[in-house]
Amino acid sequence: MRPEKIKVGIVGLGLVSASHYKGYAGHPGAEVTAVCDLEGERAERFASAFGIPQVYTSYDEMLEKAHIDVVDIATPTFLHVPMTVKAARAGKHIHCEKPFCRSVGEGLTACQAVRESGVKLVVSESYVFITSRMKARQLIEAGEIGRPLQVRQRLGPWIERERPVAHIRPAERTWRLDAEKSGGGEYPWIFDHVVHFFATAEYLMPGEVVSEVYAVTSTVHGTARAGARHDPYSTAAIDIPIYTWKYENPDCQGLWARAERLNGKYDYMRGFSTTIIGDRGVIEVLGEGGHNLLWDGRQQHLILHRESKEPVCFRFDEGGDDVWDSDICYYSQGHISSTRHLIDCIRQDTQPRYSGEDGVHAVQCALAVILSAQRGRPVRIGEVDPDYTAYAK
């Protein structure tokens, strides 16, 4: 007898929710049967657009009344932990967006509720679920570059597609600038994005753990600028254009540098890209919004360089991105893969490869960057107190 489909309820129907929906809708063992948003009209429109039977404006009511097995949390960051705890206590499996929490302490509380309820939790760290990165990890684990020793991350401008595919976004997205709701204090952009970069810094250095960070702060040259049309961010008064990190293994280290319109700089290399240096080779790989990794005058998505061998180039043509003018399919392949990963973990009773604890660790690293900027010195990850928040007065 064909097993029952796993029923999913999505709460928070903003920018990222449509990418999540695609994940479940395209999985043979899952279906989205309920949606919830504070904005009733938005929830109705989403439900009728995708033919979803149950519509709610109250999360508690959806948990109580909807016949669902999984809750997909795509609400603003300050709601992730309270909604995860409620879902776990209601016996629902969880797919929760990043940043998973705003402090280590609140994150660990959610992990405990998940453990006690025996449900599965995947934190939607889409950066470790995109095809180009998974290929890079595979090559590294196959020993193609020898021992990976150094990571260099570069963030250039994110350029939008002429006509983004993503469905209508809420007009009101100022939570992203709010010190407490975003969790970022005076660094909301940094907090919201740096969790991605640290997840990548560990994913592409198998077995290595970040132990210390140092943030370089800077004033921003020139006039304030706006970022991507769909985001409310503008140039910050104090920027963190560069930060470095050490791993517990003293042979290994990394750096991240940002040059794009929001911090008054130019770079021809678009979006996010990572270079992994080994003792016998190098991998260059594009990520979110990536473009202009060239070899032989052609656009590449990943290049493998090995000592005294011809470089090997890779492209992962998955139809391009729904939001960015980039061949790398981040919106929505990254999100599609993380949602389907949860469904597979439930059906096969396997452990998620990006868990709540991983989400808490990435937040701890991001908070260490902000603490380092505040204190003007290197900060060990372990120094980040469980109750420390970036918005604490």
Q: Which residues bind ligand NAD (CB under 6 A)?
A: 11-16, 36-39, 42, 59, 74-77, 79, 97-98, 124, 126, 169-170, 173, 192
Q: How far is the CB of 25 from ligand NAD (least distance, A)?
A: 17
- At a CB cut-off of 8 Å and minimum separation 6, what does 325 contact? 159, 160, 161, 162, 270, 289, 291
Compare residues 46 and 256 and give the one whose CB is closer to ligand NAD: 46
Residue 375 corresponds to which amino acid?
R
Closer CB to ligand NAD, residue 29 or residue 232? 232
Question: How buried is residue 38: exposed, middle or buried, by Cβ count under 10 Å (0-12/13-18/19+)?
Answer: middle
Q: How far is the CB of 114 from ligand NAD (least distance, A)?
A: 18
Which one, 161 or 173, has the nearer CB to ligand NAD? 173
CB of 5: closest distance to ligand NAD in angstroms? 24
d(CA 159, CA 140): 29
CB 392 to ligand NAD: min, Å = 20
Six token digits for residue 377: 């010195």
Minimum CB separation of residue 97 from ligand NAD in Å reads 4
Shortest spacing between CB 14 and ligand NAD, in angstroms: 2
Give the residue closest to ligand NAD by C-beta: 14
Integer Cα distance of 335 and 130 in angstroms: 8
Question: Which residue's CB is nearer to ligand NAD, number 198 or number 247?
Answer: 198
Distance CA 312, CA 291 (A): 18
Segments in the chain forming alpha helices (H): 17-25, 40-50, 59-65, 80-89, 104-117, 131-141, 179-182, 188-203, 333-348, 356-375
Nearest residue (CB) to ligand NAD, 15 versus 366 = 15
The dihedral region occupied by 264, where left means phi > 0, alpha psi between -120 and 50, and beta the remainder, is left
Is the CB of 74 or the CB of 236 nearer to ligand NAD? Answer: 74
